[in-house]
Amino acid sequence: MDSRAFAAAGGALVGGIVVALLLGPKPSQIERIRTDDPRSSAIVKHNGVVMISGQVAIIDQLDNSDITAQTHQTLAKVDELLKAAGSDKSKLLEARIWVKDIKTDFAAMNKVWNEWIDPDNKPTRVCVEAPMARPSILVEVQVTAAA
């Protein structure tokens, strides 16, 4: 192969690599928001998906609030985090709900949830009974949404 043919072949190879880099898949983009908690980020955005950490009611009000109040407070926190991430409840993809006593509190929690959720854009959802990190926490909610 003469030097001109070699240069042409090399140029085509380099050009192909540049095109592949420009048109190929982009590297993952991860954005972590509100990282002051030593255990987790409040929000993580990755490739157009927003994930928030589990939310509970206002800690200072736990001892004086029932499941209805705690669910309202928790969902207000979810709304605020989604807004901070550039999303909202109409873009929810999945919800995970933990209830301390499902026999006692499921119906009241579900009533608040049903009033809060966008009826035209409901996510998939799982709701289970689980022990909580503090005895006075009655509900925890974690959601994933489109950005």
28, containing H or E segment: none
> Averaged over 75-85, what is the pLDDT?
98
What pLDDT score was predicted for residue 13?
55
Q: What's the pLDDT band for 2 if we cut at 50, 70, 90?
A: low
Q: Is the pLDDT of residue 124 over 60?
A: yes
* CA–CA separation, 129 and 131 (whole Å): 7
Place of tokens 């854009």: 121
What is this structure's pTM? 0.80
The strand pairing partners of 124, in sequence order, are: 94
